[in-house]
Amino acid sequence: MYQANIDAKPTSLNSTLVRLSLKGTHPKEITDFLNMLTALYMERSLEKRIPWP
């Protein structure tokens, strides 16, 4: 649904931060989607760093 309109770019050449932008006509839906995407990314990143017994 959003795949054609999403853009992800590094904030600088040596940065691990990414700037996300999404074009659309429903700002609340776009905000909710980007917030969920960010939360899932952070959750998966933490899972990779912290080994579970």
Q: How many residues does the chain have?
A: 53
| pLDDT in the model for residue 12 | 93
Q: What is the Cα–Cα distance from 9 to 7, expressed in whole angstroms? A: 7
Which residues constitute the domain of residue 11?
3-49
- Number of domains within the chain: 1
Query: Are the C-beta atoms of residues 17 and 11 closer than 8 Å to each other?
Result: yes
**How far apart (Å, rounded) are the C-alpha atoms in residues 51 and 19?**
28
For the segment 1-53, what is each residue's pLDDT rounded down to a tens digit? Answer: 788 899 999 999 888 888 999 999 999 999 999 999 999 988 888 877 777 66
Chain segment 36-48, per-residue pLDDT in tens = 999 998 888 887 7
The whole model's pTM is what? Answer: 0.72
